[in-house]
Each structure stands twice: as structure tokens, then as C-alpha cells.
Amino acid sequence: MSRERVVVLGAGVSGLTTAVAMALSGCRVAIHAAEGPAQTTSSLAAAIWHPFYQAPDLVYLARARHTYATMRRLSADTASGVITKPLTEYFRRDAGEPWWAECVANLTRVRDTGMSSRFTCAYRMDVPVADTGTYLRYLMNMFLELGGTYVQRCVDDPVPLLDEAEVVVNCCGYGSRRFGDDALSLSRAIVLRAARDDAVSGCHIDDSDPALPTYIVERVHDIVLGGTADPGLTSTVIAEPQIRDILHRCTRLCDGVAKLRVIDARIGFRPIRGAPRVARDDKHARLFHNYGHGGGGFTLSWGCAHDVLRLAGIVSAGT
């Protein structure tokens, strides 16, 4: 397919990445979105490459590997907001190397006698981390420079757009419920942003408790501390005990967190689905879907975009 008209719905990380990938493949692409990148759930993410809570899965692995390689390449451009940082992940059960270890560079087992007795082992690796505001603007600027157009509008039904485009890709996340996907739900996430400080270096993760993911993510301009995963909760109130709990858990991972100055606390809502929907629509052959990644939007973004291009016949299955 060459120079075909494509409409992508949504301007979060999945929508922007899909639109850029389509434009790089020679398509004429328009993004239709009710909100700009800065207003999306993606803008609140810690944006670290990491397969949170994911059971071993070959499709997930391929998508994560593709994204890792692409974001590592983007980190060479300082304008992208993507940097490579050492991540130390702590495990309460020693099951050997993480199942996704083949994706990452410089994986080593940490032999630290000072590690908390709560953990049996830890692994350190290099991973890409994005400053979300900078990275989303970078993707949008790349998209526009490739000749893409942006239309701010709320789309109530993607099907009529097939009259004006050869391909429509729905990347609306939780907004896809209004298109009929009742399998979607929300999981509330509370995260803190702290000012950068030499007391904390690199990234640290313990995701052994699905309800209380604990992570410290050093980015270009700040340090993100998390967090929570609260299925079904929609309150936007952040209580002081929740802030103290996040700080306590993060300090147990890295003593230096106690010295950080917290800038603000934020709430985001992850779109949760039993499995990401990256597929051709059941009824409309030229309508595709790419959403429902939960906390894995950044980790899967480039791999899922590539899969959409393959499904649409824009790239071959072997590319």
C-alpha cells in the first residue's frame, strides 16, 4: 500500500506511534482526536520500558522487543526526551532471569549484600525511559514534518470515516467503550513527581504486588515515584496516607528517596483489558484497533504499531 489515506483515532502514545509508523511507510495520515497529547493518559505515565505484571507471552515479547530497539535508537536524539537508564528490578522469588531478558542490554544479576531480606535476588539492565511531555511532542512534530495532519474532534463512531479513508485505526484507549467494547475497564494510578537529586540514580522496580506497584524512575527533568493500581476506582482525590505509603515503599527500595522533594501528586486511569486489542475489526475489513495495553502502552507502542501496519498490508509479515 502506498500513499493511501489513513485516519488514526487518538493522540496518546499508541495513536501517535501508529500515525508516525504509517507516515514513515508512505501513507497520507490524519490524526483525529478529542484531546491533544498533553491531555491524554499517556502524558501521566512514568514511561519506562518494562513488562509490568505480564505472564510469559511470545506475542508480547515480540512487540516489546521491537519497541525496545526503536526507543534505544531514538535515545540517540536528545530532542526525543528518551534516555537509557540502568534499571534494577527486585524479586521475592528466585526464578532465574526475567522471561523477557533477551530484549534488554547489559543484563546482570545484582550481588548486593545490602539488599533487603524481602528479596531473594535482583537484576540490573539498561532500559529506555521517556520524558512524556517531550516525547509526545517529539512524536507529534515528527508526524507533522512527515506531512501528517491533526484534526481536533470527538469521533462517536469510526465506521463512517471509512467513506473518506482507506484505513481507519482506532487508538482511543478507554474511549473505545463508546464504540461497543464492554471488555474495557479502568485502573486508577497514583504517582508522585520529585525534583531530580543525586541521592537517586537510575530506576528501581518491585512489581511483586499487582495492587501496589513500586517504582522509581529517573527521567531527564524529574523522578517519578509510584504507585498504585486500583481497578474500578474513579475518585480523583489523593489522600496524604497514600502519598506517605508510596514514599515509604520507594524508600525501602532506594534510601535516597527520603531526600527527594516531591513536586506534585497525580492521578491517571489506565485502560485495562484481558489482552490488548491489536486486530482487524470483526465486521469492517478496513478498520483496525490498537488499544487496551493497560500499563504497557510505552513498552508495546512501536511493536503494536508495526503489527497494525502488517495487518493492514502496509508492511509484509516478514518485515
Each residue's pLDDT tens digit, 266-281: 999 888 898 899 999 9
Residue 32, strand partner residues: 9, 151
Quick one: DSSP state of residue 30?
Answer: E
Whether 317 has a pLDDT exceeding 90, the answer reads no
**What is the distance between the alpha carbons of residues 44 and 31, in angstroms, rounded to a whole number?**
21
Domain presence at residue 179: yes
Domain presence at residue 318: no
Q: 40 to each of 92, 183, 225, 271, 280, how far by Cα in Å?
A: 34, 20, 19, 12, 24
Whether 113 has a pLDDT exceeding 70, the answer reads no
Q: 52 to each of 164, 280, 293, how far by Cα in Å?
A: 38, 26, 11
Q: Check whether the bond before 227 is cis (ω within 30° of 0).
A: yes
DSSP 49-108: ---TTPPP-HHHHHHHHHHHHHHHHHTTSGGG-EEEEEEEEEESS--SS-TTGGGSEEEE
Predicted model pTM = 0.94
Rounded to the nearest 10°, the torsion over CA 132, 134, 136, 137 is 160
Number of domains in the chain: 1
Read off the pLDDT band of 141 (50, 70, 90): very high
Domain presence at residue 259: yes
Domain presence at residue 159: yes
Read off the pLDDT band of 319 (50, 70, 90): very low
Domain presence at residue 157: yes
Domain presence at residue 145: yes
Choice among 136-140, 205-209, 288-292 with the minimum mean pLDDT: 205-209
**What is the distance between the alpha carbons of residues 112 and 206, in angstroms, rounded to a whole number?**
16
Q: Which domain holds residue 170?
A: 5-312
Q: What is the CATH number of the domain that holds 182?
A: 3.30.9.10
At position 273, the amino acid (one-letter code) is R
Domain presence at residue 317: no
**What is the distance between the alpha carbons of residues 29 and 32, in angstroms, rounded to a whole number?**
10
Quick one: DSSP state of residue 54?
Answer: P
Domain presence at residue 319: no
- pLDDT the model gives residue 190: 95
Query: How many helical (H) and strand (E) elements, i.e. helices and strands, does the chain have?
Result: 5, 15
- pLDDT the model gives residue 3: 58
What number of other Cβ atoms are within 10 A of residue 73's Cβ? 13
pLDDT tens sequence across 117-133: 889 999 999 999 999 99
